[in-house]
Amino acid sequence: MYDCSELHFIPMTDVIHQLVNGQTSKDLNIQDRGLSYGHGVFETLKISAGQAVLWREHLDRLVTSCQRLKISTDHLQTDLESDLLKLPVQEQAVLKIIITAGVGGRGYQVPEKATPTRIVQIFPYPVYSDQPEQLGIKARWCQIQLSSAPLLAGMKHLNRLEQVLARSEWSDASIKEGIVCGCDGFLAEGTMSNLFLIKNGVLKTPILHSYGVEGIMRNYLLDLAKANAIPVEVTQLTKADLLSADEVFFCNSLIEIWPLRQLEEHCFEIGPITRKLQSLLKAESL
């Protein structure tokens, strides 16, 4: 439905470039509902070889999320495509898109004729010298639990306070991710990623009907696994399920796949299905 195949990017050397409603700017109205109430959504994409990776999937989720939050999507696709063509970027970079409900007065009621705010940002692509995709990472359990909020589940809305508080639970730079459960005690996700485990050859990931982000890379990996005869299950999972897993990894659109090597005192092997999915992603040239 959404095609960004004709959007090409010009190499750049700037550390960051930002557009607000299509104009180069660092200014935002202080009455913007994204600032006042977190009334908005965002997407973070990888730019590779001058192209927005999985653009269609990110745009589809962005539009759907805006509609769920009653933010107008009139002309959103064409406006964003116009914005992206104005951005000079490196061959590899990070693209962040933020859509808010726009400017409104004090109070929760959504203005009838509010005009959404579009913010498009380019950041340098992160470089990880410790090779987490190959060597795996250390993680920890987080104490905070995600609230049950079915109306918000799945989308990347601007209120990320639970994730901020979860990430604030540690400062040890050797720990790359924390695992968060929902308020029902079942596994949810990482603070910045989705969570997968493999048991007896089956790829499993938590169901996210009440909390969490239904990640673009998460869904892409589920489809990729099915297409390559790897059994998958989207289901409720416990801490015990994770500790007894044969393999565990985290994923998102930027890191792609980071295998879990150590969770506090528990160690894991980087197994064949994790490596196969990494190889399949590489073959897809994402």
Contacts of 111 (CB under 8 A, 6+ apart): 102, 103, 104, 105
Q: Is position 12 within any domain?
A: no
Per-residue pLDDT at 179: 98
- Residue 9 in any domain: the answer is no
Strands 256-263 and 137-146, sheet pairing = parallel
The answer on 57 and 22 residing in a single domain is yes
Helix (H, G, I), strand (E, B) or coil at 147: coil
CA distance 206 to 119: 31
Do 253 and 144 share a structural domain? yes
Is residue 146 located within the same domain as residue 105? no
Q: Which residues contact 285 (CB under 8 A, 6 or more apart)?
A: 48, 49
User: Are 153 and 271 in the same domain?
Assistant: yes
Strands (E) across 49-193 are located at 51-52, 93-100, 117-124, 137-146, 175-182, 187-190
Q: Assess if residue 216 is contained within a domain.
A: yes
- Same structural domain, 91 and 140: no
Residues 169 and 264 placed together within one structural domain of the fold: yes
Sign of the torsion formed by the C-alpha atoms of 44, 45, 46 and 50 = negative
Residue 262, SS3 per DSSP: strand
Domain around 160: 132-283
Separation CA 80–CA 116 (nearest Å): 12
Q: Is residue 7 part of a domain?
A: no
Cα 273–Cα 46–Cα 65 angle in degrees, nearest 5: 95
Within the chain, residue ranges assigned H as helices are: 33-37, 55-68, 76-85, 132-135, 161-167, 216-227, 239-243, 272-283
Res 89: pLDDT: 58
Of the candidates 117, 87, 93, the residue with the CA atom closest to the CA atom of residue 253: 93
Bridge partners of residue 203, in order along the sequence? 198, 232
Q: 284: which 2 tokens?
A: 């897809």
What is the distance between the alpha carbons of residues 114 and 200, in angstroms, rounded to a whole number?
A: 52
In this structure, what CATH number is given to the domain that contains residue 69? 3.30.470.10
Q: What is the pLDDT, as a whole number, of residue 105?
A: 78
- Residue 11 domain-assigned? no
Tell me which of 93, 124, 155 is where a domain ends. Answer: 124
Listed residues 124, 157, 185: the one ending a domain: 124
Amino acid at 107: G
Q: Same domain, yes or no, for 120 and 189?
A: no
Domain match, 136 and 274 both:
yes
Contact 120, 83 (CB under 8 A): yes
Choose one of 78, 108, 124: the last residue of a domain.
124
Q: Identify whether residues 160 and 272 lie together within a single domain.
A: yes
Residue 153 lies in a domain: yes
Nearest to 182 by CA among 147, 139, 214: 147
Is 10 part of any domain? no
Number of domains in the chain: 2
CATH number at residue 190: 3.20.10.10
Domain-located, residue 225: yes
Same domain flag for 69 and 174: no
Q: Do 109 and 204 fall within a single domain?
A: no
Q: What is the pLDDT of residue 18?
A: 93
Give the pLDDT of the chain (286 residues) as one tens digit per residue: 334 444 443 333 444 689 999 999 888 999 999 999 999 999 999 999 989 999 999 999 999 999 999 999 999 999 999 999 998 757 899 999 999 999 987 888 888 788 999 999 999 999 999 999 999 999 999 999 999 999 999 999 999 999 999 999 999 999 999 999 999 999 999 999 999 999 999 999 999 999 999 999 999 999 999 999 999 999 999 999 999 999 999 999 999 999 999 999 999 999 999 999 999 999 987 7
Q: Centre a 10 Å sphere on the Cβ of residue 116 and count the other Cβ atoms it contains.
A: 23
Are residues 142 and 277 both part of a single domain? yes
CA distance 250 to 256: 8
pLDDT score recorded for residue 11? 39
Residues with a known catalytic role: 44, 156, 189
